[in-house]
C-alpha cells in the first residue's frame, strides 16, 4: 500500500454539453466519454471528512487535465472554473487504499526527453 489516495472523475451531462458546443463538436455519449477514466493520486487522508479539503486543493489541476484531454484551446474553456462548476460537470470517486503490486520503480513519463 502506498501513501496516496486515488481519485477518478466521471463526466456528467454539463461536460458533455460543453463538448457538443465546441467549434468542432464531437458526438460523444456519456458512456464513451467515461471510458478509461484517468486516475489521480492525491495525499492520503485519514478521515472521510478530509476528502472535501483535498478536492478543494486539487480540483483545478484535475479540471484542467480533463478539459485539455478533450480540447486544448483554452480560449474555449469556461472562464470561471471553480469548485462549484467542477462538481456540476464531474462525479468524483475517492479510493483510500492504493496498492502498488509492481516490483519496479514508478517512472514519470513527463520527464522523458
Q: Identify which has the larger pLDDT, 108 or 35.
A: 35
pLDDT digits (tens, 9 = 90+) for 64-75: 999 999 999 999
Backbone conformation region of residue 111, classed left if phi is above 0, alpha if psi is from -120 to 50, else beta: alpha
Q: What is the pLDDT of residue 113?
A: 55
* For range 17-39, the mean pLDDT: 93
pLDDT tens-place string over residues 27-37: 899 999 999 99
Given this model, what pLDDT does residue 20 score?
A: 94
Confidence of residue 111 (pLDDT cuts 50, 70, 90): low
Could you tell me the residue range of the domain that residue 22 belongs to? 4-111
**What pTM was computed for the model?**
0.89
- Counting the structural domains of the chain, the total is 1
* Distance in angstroms (rounded) separating the CA atoms of residues 78 and 64: 10
pLDDT at position 70 = 96
The whole-chain average pLDDT of the chain stands at 94
Amino acid at each position: 500500500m502506498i501513501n496516496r489516495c486515488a481519485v477518478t472523475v466521471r463526466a456528467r451531462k454539463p461536460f458533455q454539453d460543453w463538448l457538443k458546443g465546441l467549434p468542432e463538436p464531437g458526438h460523444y455519449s456519456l458512456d464513451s466519454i467515461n471510458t478509461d477514466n484517468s486516475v489521480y493520486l492525491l495525499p492520503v487522508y485519514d478521515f472521510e471528512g478530509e476528502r472535501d479539503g483535498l478536492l478543494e486543493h486539487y480540483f483545478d489541476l484535475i479540471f484542467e487535465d480533463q478539459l485539455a484531454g478533450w480540447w486544448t484551446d483554452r480560449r474555449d474553456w469556461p472562464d470561471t472554473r471553480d469548485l462549484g462548476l467542477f462538481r456540476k460537470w464531474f462525479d468524483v470517486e475517492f479510493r483510500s487504499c492504493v496498492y502498488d503490486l509492481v516490483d519496479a520503480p514508478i517512472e514519470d513519463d513527463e520527464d522523458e526527453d
